[in-house]
Copies of this chain bind each other. A is one copy, B any other.
Amino acid sequence: MQTPTRAKIRLCVEHPLGVGQAVPLSPEQAHYLFGVMRKGVGDAIALFNGRDGEWTSEVVEAGKKRGILACREQAAPQQMPPDLWLIFAPIKKERTDFIVEKAAELGCARILPVQTEFTNSGRIRQDRLQAHALEAAEQCLGTFVPPVDEMVPLSKLLAGWDGARRILWADESLVGAAETLAGLAPGPWAILIGPEGGFSEAEREKLRALPFVTPVSLGPRILRADTAAVAAITLWQAALGDWR
């Protein structure tokens, strides 16, 4: 929605960033910058690493499969998301990609795919989902990339859950109910979104019994899982997060 006034090309790197810091490129990054984007020595590239904010850097060495960038100045401070996790059951491929992209854009700190009884997909490509989160941060001028976990069964995740982090459960049986986020306390939270088909009755009973789980309604309409994820993150950010 906004034309960046900072360097147009943004790269996420592992390397520390700071005044005068030299940042070596991976072969893939060198190929992308110099082969695909036709950049060369002297061009400006924006860098971030999830810790040191965004830095404007300059290409000082450019090779076919290698290159070095030199940090010049900080262009934006590090912006960390609030302490919100997203737990979701992967659905169809495009919609799963979409959920990860939107969670990264809207400011989630961690993304946890879970397998539920009605989860359609038995496995996910964690690396692909992580790449989507990274791309969302690169495109939206973010300086933080939420880690995407490997998928685990929901039952296992809940068994080892630290109750200090509360779970906001988008409970599809509450469609039209008045269970809103009003009155909830800030702090560490996770949002839980079910798969197409919802949770099983056994899962629902378990969730209802957990003291750290709060069910919430997302309005009077039935929402697809991807829509529910975006709506729930938005409401949490506005009520308890950094959109206040």
Contacts and interface: CB of A to CB of B under 8 A. Distances in A.
Interface string A174-197: 010000100000000000011111
A89 to B, nearest CB: 10
Contacts of A180: 238, 243-244
Nearest to A193: B1
Interface stretch (A34-42, A160-168, A220-228): A220-228
Contact of A223 (B1, B173, B195, B223): B1
Contact of A222 (B141, B195, B225, B228): B141
A200 B93 CA distance: 36
Work out how many copies of this chain go into the complex.
Answer: 2
Contact of A227 (B79, B102, B197, B198): B102
A106 B223 contact: yes
A24 interface: no
Contact of A107 (B98, B219, B224): B219
A218 interface: yes
A242 B2 CA distance: 31
Closest 7 A/B residue pairs (Cβ): A219-B243, A1-B172, A2-B172, A231-B234, A234-B234, A230-B230, A140-B222
